[in-house]
Amino acid sequence: MILVLLGPPGSGKGTQAKKLVTERGWPQLSTGDMLRTAIGKGTALGLEAKSYMDRGALVPDSVVIGLIGERTSQPDCRSGFILDGFPRTIPQAEALDQMLLGRGGQVEKAVLFEIDDSELVSRLSGRRTCTKCGAMYHIQSAPPKKAGICDSCGSSLIQRDDDQVDVIAKRLVVYHQQTAPLAEFYRKQGKLTSLDASLPANDVSQALSRAISG
């Protein structure tokens, strides 16, 4: 199955995608992870992407589509995959459809994670990331045992630039303007299912399983 997860930043798409990887065996294709890897390696695409991400803007289609095209050509994607964070715009969705059509495939389902902006700001601004191993924490819902220190490796925790409150606000504006219309795009194709992403993670997981099976 080729599955697209839609929703604003912080709505839980990545967390649920990881569960599906374990349960269903489909690889998770997160453009955010791919972009951060490219940034960490200091590649040309990574440096270009960072300038946009730091101010909460969308990375240009040419960069994202290039990454997705390369990734979906790899052997582990032959039996299906989960797209988390892509497409983010109508042109990207159209480009994805064309890419898949050329390979004899198509997006089979799109699931929209619905949640209020106010809860998203709280979720994202409280996130902390380990500078070494990448482990994620939240100062309220999942704090480390020792403030500012990773439980796993003992390295320092930081707040990512794109988790700053002012950047989050910009990211949400961009989402509502450019990404939210994808819901209607997939609804017209008869592929969209919505779920309440403000529910506890286990409830969201069950709703997602029903959406995929339905």
Catalytic residues: 13, 88, 127, 160, 171
Residue 117: CB partners within 8 Å, gap ≥ 6? 8, 172
Tokens matching residue 118: 């106010």
Tokens matching residue 173: 């504006």
**Residue 82, phi then psi, degrees to nearest 5:** -110, 125
Percentages helix, strand, coil for the chain (3-state, rounded to 5) are: 50, 15, 35
Residue from 179, 159, 178, 164 nearest 56 by CA: 164
